[in-house]
Amino acid sequence: MQLPSWAALGPALVLALTALVLLGLDSIDPDSTHSSALAGISALGALSALGLAGWYLLAGTGQASTGGPILLYGDALVVDGMSLFFSVIFASVAAMVIVASYDYLKGRTYQAEFYSLVMLAATGMTLMASSNSLASVFVSLELASLPSYALVAFLKRNEGSVEAGLKYFLIGAVSSAVFAFGISLVYAVTGSLLLSDVASGLVDAGDFVGVAGVGVLLIAGGFAFKTASVPFHFWAPEAYEGAPAPISAFLSSASKAAGFAVAFRVFVEAFPIASVVPMGIDWPLLFAVLAVVTMTLGNFAAATQENVKRMLAYSSIGHAGYALIGLAALSQGGPNGQVMGASMAHLLVYGFMNTGAFLFIALVEHWEVGRTFEDYNGLATKAPVACTAMTVFMFSLAGLPPFGGFLSKYALFYSAVQGGFWWLAAVGAINSALSLFYYSRVVKAMWIEEPSTPFELESKPVGLYVAVMFAAVGTLLLLPGFGPVVETAQTAATALFA
């Protein structure tokens, strides 16, 4: 049976419908504290979206083998291999965060609102990956951002959470204004918001090339904020540290991937290198500078932290620098599909290992152990299984074999070298080696150091444990399964350059 074309947006529609169901339940019973029912509905929605996205991706929906991309609503949205690949990332992270939140939210009010906000943010991220117009890019970005502001400030009686939410909102508002101004300048020059029409309109920019260049620069600034890239990274450490730990995992993994999903499509399709670089709009050079500065500053800042959660926040900035290689190492006639595809594959692996690391932080917060490296001393004597999972996350984030992060970084750096950007790969490798210092501090504290003070872990929350174990298994399985993953990502990315 032939499905209608709008069914290609199934993952986004399922996430949005789940959010509406949760809001409906909350309106009927505002004081509901049925944690199991609310978490179950949310998890079912996220897993259904994951199943649909995976099914579509494997079936070749929107890809060359089935007739090419599916354009919807006046070409404002597109479903292709890249949008489905990123939908898998968003749904996977959302599912892990929801399962972990079951224990984290126990005894708290506004649980239905929490889950519905997560679903709405995930919906916005999925639509970001499918946006084929600068207008739909902006609207979907705001749909993802507005729930995120509320989620960061969810702990209303926690001063750190409220402060982080306010800072995140203010910086986000400024970045949205910058992004919208950039879009207006590009529209003024090209007369269109559709990415393909923007590309053709730039060819006839004439004397307005400078205006278009400023617009491209401002749009790049908006994406840099969403991906927590330097110099728009200031919000990230504060937001990740103050937010509930599951939301820190959600923002640092899914939200970052959403920013890259949009950036990949917008810059490749709206500002093709062959057209804009001869005009003097050399955006690959801009992203090369951002990549080097972001990965270097993020790693050096992470190395100086004593708070484990803040260390992970800065390390996520460093990983944004690695992912930026997917844009920085593009060139006219180079292996662009391989480079961008490797970056997409790294973001998938990163989604599991980074989400797992932040969910382990949530587990430790549940036990009220503390947040510093010293507080983690001897933790493995009380929770060996969870600490083994955290060890997997740390070594995978550092890029050590035999974990998924090793192959994803190797593929990314190797693709950059193939494209002639060996110096970019070298900077990435050096920064990756530096990261081993601070990641190993966590492992050393848990397994080698003696406890500074005796502590008792009174409970083993099932939801948090399941989410952490799921992330650990995913990180490990992505090692033998990395071949098909990177091939799928590179095929999807190559289609953008066709």
Is residue 145 within 8 A of residue 124, CB to CB? The reply is: yes
**Over residues 486-493, mean pLDDT:** 94
CB atoms closer than 10 angstroms to residue 303: 17
Query: Once rounded to an integer, what is the mean pLDDT over residues 33-42?
Result: 85
User: Does residue 124 fall inside a structural domain?
Assistant: no
Residue 44 burial by Cβ neighbours in a 10 Å radius (0-12, 13-18, 19+)? middle
Amino acid identity of residue 480, one-letter, is P
The one-letter code for the residue type at 93 is V
Average pLDDT taken over every residue of the chain? 91
Listed residue (165, 333, 307, 314) closest to 233, CA to CA = 314
Q: Is the pLDDT of residue 30 over 80?
A: no
pLDDT tens digits for 362-379?
A: 998 888 888 889 888 888
What band does 245 get if pLDDT is binned at 50, 70 and 90?
confident
Specify if 215 maps to a domain. Answer: no
> Per the domain annotation, does 461 fall within a domain?
yes
Rounded to whole angstroms, the Cα distance separating 115 from 467 reads 16
CA distance 110 to 38: 11
Q: How far is the CA of 6 from the CAs of 3, 13, 77, in angstroms?
A: 8, 10, 10
Q: Which domain holds residue 419?
A: 284-498
Please give the biggest Cα pair distance in the chain: 71
How confident is the model over 185-241, as pLDDT tens digits?
A: 999 999 999 999 999 999 887 778 899 999 999 999 989 988 888 888 888 888 888
Q: Does pLDDT of 394 surpass 80?
A: yes
In a domain, 112, yes or no: no
Tally the domains of the chain: 1
Could you give the count of Cα atoms lying within 13 Å of 169 in the half-sphere of its Cβ? 15
In a domain, 32, yes or no: no
- The pLDDT confidence band at residue 17, using thresholds 50, 70 and 90, is very high
CA distances to 199, 326, 364 from 267, in Å? 10, 11, 40
- Residue 130 is predicted with a pLDDT of 96
The Cα 428–Cα 413 span in angstroms is 7
Residue 362 counted as domain residue: yes
Handedness of CA 13, 16, 18, 21 (dihedral sign): negative
**In 399-461, where does DSSP find H-type helix?**
404-418, 422-447
| pLDDT reported for residue 33 | 65
Cα distance between residue 287 and residue 65, in whole Å: 32
Q: What is the pLDDT of residue 2?
A: 66
Q: Is residue 330 part of a domain?
A: yes
Contacts of 111 (CB under 8 A, 6+ apart): 32, 33, 35, 38, 105
- Is residue 41 pLDDT above 90, yes or no? yes
Share of the chain above pLDDT 90, in %: 68
Q: Give just the sign of the alpha carbon dihedral 88, 395, 465, 463.
A: negative
Q: Is residue 378 part of a domain?
A: yes
What is the spatial distance between Cα 296 and Cα 430, in angstroms, rounded to a whole number?
Answer: 9
For residue 406, give Cα distances in angstroms to 9, 128, 429: 33, 28, 11
